[in-house]
Homo-oligomer: A and B are copies of this chain.
Amino acid sequence: MLATEFKDAITAADRVLVQIRTAIVDGEIPAGTKISEPELARRYDLSRAPLREALARLERCHLIERTPNAGARVVKLSIEGLRSLYQLREELEGLACRLAAEHMTEQEIAEVRALLDQHLSTQRVREGESYYQEAGDVDFHYRVILGSKNPYLINILSDELYFLVRMYRVQLGMNGPRVSRAFDEHKAIINAIANRDGELADLLMRRHIAASKRNIEQQLLQQGTSHG
């Protein structure tokens, strides 16, 4: 969960949005499931009005697909979907790096560095608990995205695309040797930003994301061949 998501006035629609979104990202509501408004309204104990508001926002971040008069389904994860998503993500986070190299303040850069060091020294990360690795990674990318200072870019990446990215990562797994390497890559990126070398930061970020994609792609292929 992003810290600054809701400023103060939290409405019922906001709450149920977070609940359902988490359930979908974590696979608690499986991919491809038909969404029933009456059922969800009962489950989360509210009326259909705020629920529909939440569903509209879930559609916005591509976690569900709605067709008029026919209802909504949770998206299915696929190779083509992953490729399209990461193609865009590479481009946009690359841009975010170039802009961050231009616009981030020294203090913001120092904060990201502190975050990385602090995270690396955390017991649970060293023990390989995937939740904390995931949280640390999301945090790093989020800071860089914010550093771009472009509100439309920030909105697309952190409000629309990121939950789907996390859905792929959570359900298809961040595993093994990529973990420690990712930290080195994060460090290299923030160094390039600190040197105001946007071009290099861009390049490194694209490679970082491409590596992550290959990792997930492999899982999807294995899963597809063994089960189907």
Which single member of B11, B84, B92 contacts A151 (CB below 8 Å)? B84
A152 in contact with B68 (CB, 8 Å): no
Q: How far is the CB of A227 from chain B (nearest CB, A)?
A: 25
A9 in contact with B150 (CB, 8 Å): no
Which single member of B62, B91, B153 contacts A95 (CB below 8 Å)? B91
B150 in contact with A84 (CB, 8 Å): yes
B68 in contact with A11 (CB, 8 Å): yes
Q: Mark A78-95, 1 if CB is under 8 A from B, else 0.
A: 000000110110011001
Which single member of B10, B53, B60, B62 contacts A152 (CB below 8 Å)? B62
Q: How far is the CB of A100 from chain B (nearest CB, A)?
A: 13
Q: A52-B53, A91-B95 are in contact. Are A9 and B152 (CB under 8 A)?
A: no
Verify if A57 is at the interface (C-beta below 8 Å from B): yes
- Copies of this protein in the assembly total 2
B9 in contact with A69 (CB, 8 Å): yes
Verify if A49 is at the interface (C-beta below 8 Å from B): yes
26 contacts between A and B (CB under 8 A): A9-B68, A9-B69, A10-B68, A11-B68, A11-B69, A14-B68, A49-B49, A52-B53, A53-B56, A56-B57, A60-B60, A62-B155, A84-B150, A84-B152, A84-B153, A85-B152, A87-B95, A87-B99, A87-B150, A87-B153, A88-B150, A88-B153, A91-B92, A91-B95, A152-B161, A156-B160
Contacts A6-B68, A11-B69, A56-B57 given; 15 further ones with Cβ under 8 A? A9-B68, A9-B69, A11-B68, A49-B49, A56-B56, A60-B60, A62-B152, A62-B155, A84-B150, A84-B152, A85-B152, A87-B99, A88-B153, A88-B156, A91-B91
